[in-house]
Amino acid sequence: MKHILIIFLFMSSLLYGADNTINVVKNVATLPTIAIEDASTDFSTALQDRFFKAIKSDLNVLSIFNVDSSHYKVTFSNDTVLPEEKNNDYILRYRLVSGESKTLTVDVKLFKKSQLVMQKSYKINNSKLYIFISHAIAYDVNKYMGAAPVEWMKKKVIFSRLLSSGQSEIVISDYTMSYQYVIVKGGLNIFPIWANQDQTSFYFTSLNGAKPMLEKVNISTGKVTKILSSDGMIACSDVSQDGKHILVTMAPHGQPDIYLYDISSKKLTRLTHFSGIDVDGQFFGNDSIVFVSDRLGYPTVFSKTIGSNAVSQLVFEGHHNTSCAVSGHYIVYESRETNNAFSVNTYNLHLMSTQTDYIRRLTAVGVNILPRFSQDGNTILFIKKYKGQSAVGVIRLNYNKDYLFPLKHENIQGLDW
Amino acid sequence: MKKVMFLSVIAAVIVLTGCATKQPVISQVGTTKPVTVPATNNNQPTSSENVSGIGASGVSSSSQSSVQPSNQSNALSQMQQLQKKLKSIYFDFNKYNIRSNMTNTLQQDIQTLKASDSNYTVKLEGNCDDRGSNEYNFALGLRRANTVKKSLVNAGISASHITMISYGKTKPVCMQQTPECWQRNRRVDFKLLP
């Protein structure tokens, strides 16, 4: 009887663990502790401090450790562990080594209870790119620990930011937006979105001509291809997994609707025909889309099967749900709880599943916008604005944890991961 | 065309390789040569395959003649004077219908346009406050512009002399998080083109 009960409890926990809309409020298991030892002698103290903060943040975001926040200084070859660190389960020791032409090498050792279990070296051509080494180290530590993959840590983020009225630029960054590279500047260029899984090209909308123009940029070659133009507006909302189709919001006759565009055949198919607003189309399964429409008098999230006229309302809560993202059967959407123009300007993120009735509120305060799933669907990146400050947020759904990385006066208008 | 969009090919696209080796190398890929792309008014796709894509869509190509700069400074000056007389139309939060206290303003704009040189092209620019997603606000701004366009057409102004564009929340006239500032940004502006 006892065995049956144990099996039942185990199976129940598996069922709940498989649903990201379930909010785990208490973890019974205690996380292992890890301390970070800095053995760097090269480079400035400022860079050493920045790298320490970066690796500490990355280890925290993994959500599999309790990270000791102390910045310990040691000798790299030292085989012993500092007395104050003996209680930690793991020690991550590293040193920054400068090479020719600003080259940065980072030597890393991972100890488990004073036992060396991992040793690697990482090299990059420019020390300004140190954040990517930090992400790579965290990725390898996570892999050694056998935790759920964090491929998203190595993915690049592309976003557009408003510099002033009518002036924007498109930027590529790491997931914390610590390292930023401006790839399109001058004029008004918005709605960047990766064109393929390899992140070697992207689409964006240029508003610098007589008509809005959807363009595609190959990062490796620099080739720019004009794809589509439309009166009024045009935006690429989603790219299919294989990169062969895109969902575009455009308004050739002044009416914003969602279109399916076949990249190879250049065939454009109108998917929505509502006289109001239909935007933000997202591929949903093999034959459906999820999109935002104001057909009820306020914007909220709907779905429809491609080729069918019928639409289904997916989100019934909130009165101003203007954006969503899809991963499998999960949908994350931003929602304003009231449609009152003068109420507190608060937007929160909610996670729903089309297979259950549960809705999980992911944020509680501030303006939380632009949610984007990681490729595995277990992590969400978003932008938070609160009390005059903004940050990029990372939500680890399976671990019920979220992390914020402050941004400097960023007015981010569009984001893809 | 003075505006030039500088497109830089990324110099530091980072990929991790060689994870299985003892010394993973984080390398640079991509070219480092910057590319300069001038923005033009010619919005037709340059490659033939893209032209077929546009044609298949039924998306009409724009007439380029309406946006060519005029050489007659007097005419340009008159047009600018006329544009100053046109008042923006303001909207309620998340709405694109003409509210009652904007009716007179819109009628004055219509009378001003009808009394002017009919060869001008009226460009209606839809704008929004910064609440809500970027894409939704672009559609909302376009709907606002379309509402104004319908009023102009109903009043007898030729639809062929009207173009629309939405800037969503990317062309604010103020940036404060106040109801007054939000109101100033929920608008349709009139621009005249020769």
ipTM entry? 0.87
Residues from chain B that touch A139, judged by Cβ atoms under 8 A, are 16
Test A191 with B40 for CB contact under 8 angstroms. no
Residue A152 to residue A212: CA distance in whole angstroms:
32
Residue B5: its pLDDT value, please? 43
**A206, containing H or E segment:** strand A201-206
**Percent of all residues in chain A with a pLDDT value above 90, rounded to a whole number:** 71
Residues of A (307-346) whose Cβ lies below 8 Å from B? 320, 322-323, 334, 336, 339, 341-342, 345
Please name each of the domains of chain A with its CATH number: 17-147 (3.40.50.10070), 152-416 (2.120.10.30)
Test A322 with B133 for CB contact under 8 angstroms. yes
* B40 in the same domain as B81: no
* B21 in the same domain as B114: no
Cα–chain center distance at B17: 43
* B85 in the same domain as B11: no
What is the domain count for chain B? 2
| B20 located within any domain | yes
> Does B147 contact chain A (CB < 8 Å)?
no
Residues from chain A that touch B168, judged by Cβ atoms under 8 A, are 190, 233
Supply φ then ψ for residue A346, to 5 degrees: -120, 130
Lowest mean pLDDT among A26-35, A294-303, A307-316, B36-45: B36-45
Residue B62 is given by DSSP the state P
* B79 in the same domain as B126: yes
Residue A345: its pLDDT value, please? 59
* B107 in the same domain as B41: no
> Does B48 contact chain A (CB < 8 Å)?
no
Task: Give B14→chain A minimum CA distance, Å.
Answer: 7
| B128 located within any domain | yes
> Does A259 contact chain B (CB < 8 Å)?
yes
Residue B22: its pLDDT value, please? 38
> Does B100 contact chain A (CB < 8 Å)?
no
Q: How confident is the model at residue A16 (pLDDT cuts 50, 70, 90)?
A: very low
| B65 located within any domain | no
* B128 in the same domain as B84: yes
Looking at residues A197-215, what average pLDDT do you find? 95
Residue A360: its pLDDT value, please? 92
- To probe the interface with A, which of B94, B149, B193 has the most A CB atoms within 10 Å? B94
Q: Which two tokens stand for residue A39?
A: 């053995």
Residue A210: its pLDDT value, please? 86
3-state secondary structure B4-24: EEEECCCCCEEEEECCCCCCC
Residues from chain B that touch A188, judged by Cβ atoms under 8 A, are 167, 170-171
Q: How confident is the model at residue A294 (pLDDT cuts 50, 70, 90)?
A: very high
Residue A230: its pLDDT value, please? 94
* B107 in the same domain as B162: yes
Task: Give B151→chain A minimum CA distance, Å.
Answer: 14
| B50 located within any domain | no
Residue A366: its pLDDT value, please? 86
Residue A25: its pLDDT value, please? 56
Residue A97: its pLDDT value, please? 93
Which of A374, A410, A377 lies closest to A392 in space, CA to CA? Answer: A410
**Percent of all residues in chain B with a pLDDT value above 90, rounded to a whole number:** 47
Find all residues with CB under 8 Å of A394, minimum gap 6, and list them. Answer: A61, A175, A176, A379, A380, A381, A402, A403, A404, A405
Task: Give A400→chain B minimum CA distance, Å.
Answer: 25
Residue A11: its pLDDT value, please? 47
Test B50 with A225 for CB contact under 8 angstroms. yes
* B163 in the same domain as B95: yes
* B184 in the same domain as B134: yes
Kindly list the distances between the CA atom of residue A200 and the CA atoms of A128, A132, A151, A155, A375, in Å, as whole numbers in the listed order.
22, 17, 16, 11, 16
- How confident is the model over B24-39, as pLDDT tens digits? 444 333 333 333 333 4
**Percent of all residues in chain A with a pLDDT value above 70, rounded to a whole number:** 90
Q: How confident is the model at residue B95 (pLDDT cuts 50, 70, 90)?
A: very high
Q: Are B89 and B98 in contact (CB under 8 A)?
A: yes
Looking at residues A292-299, what average pLDDT do you find? 93
| B54 located within any domain | no
> Does B20 contact chain A (CB < 8 Å)?
no
Looking at residues B175-194, what average pLDDT do you find? 92
Q: Which residues form the domain of B22?
A: 4-45
CATH number of the domain encompassing residue B178 = 3.30.1330.60
Q: How confident is the model at residue B7 (pLDDT cuts 50, 70, 90)?
A: very low
| B94 located within any domain | yes
Residues from chain A that touch B179, judged by Cβ atoms under 8 A, are 341-342
Residue A326: its pLDDT value, please? 96
- Residue A354 in this model has a pLDDT that exceeds 50: yes
Q: Are B82 and B112 in contact (CB under 8 A)?
A: yes
Q: Are A278 and A268 in contact (CB under 8 A)?
A: no
Q: How confident is the model at residue A19 (pLDDT cuts 50, 70, 90)?
A: low
| B58 located within any domain | no
Test A279 with B46 for CB contact under 8 angstroms. no
- How confident is the model over A315-330, as pLDDT tens digits? 998 888 999 999 999 9
Residue A259 to residue A262: CA distance in whole angstroms:
10
> Does A230 contact chain B (CB < 8 Å)?
yes
- Residue B17 in this model has a pLDDT that exceeds 60: no
Q: How confident is the model at residue A18 (pLDDT cuts 50, 70, 90)?
A: low
* B106 in the same domain as B155: yes
Residue A13: its pLDDT value, please? 46
Residue B47: its pLDDT value, please? 31
Q: How confident is the model at residue A344 (pLDDT cuts 50, 70, 90)?
A: low
Residue of B nearest to A132 (CA): B14
Residues from chain B that touch A168, judged by Cβ atoms under 8 A, are 170
> Does A136 contact chain B (CB < 8 Å)?
yes
Residue A395: its pLDDT value, please? 97
Test A251 with B139 for CB contact under 8 angstroms. yes
* B113 in the same domain as B35: no
* B99 in the same domain as B8: no
Q: How confident is the model at residue B64 (pLDDT cuts 50, 70, 90)?
A: very low
| B166 located within any domain | yes
Test B26 with A266 for CB contact under 8 angstroms. no
Looking at residues B128-154, what average pLDDT do you find? 94
> Does B25 contact chain A (CB < 8 Å)?
yes
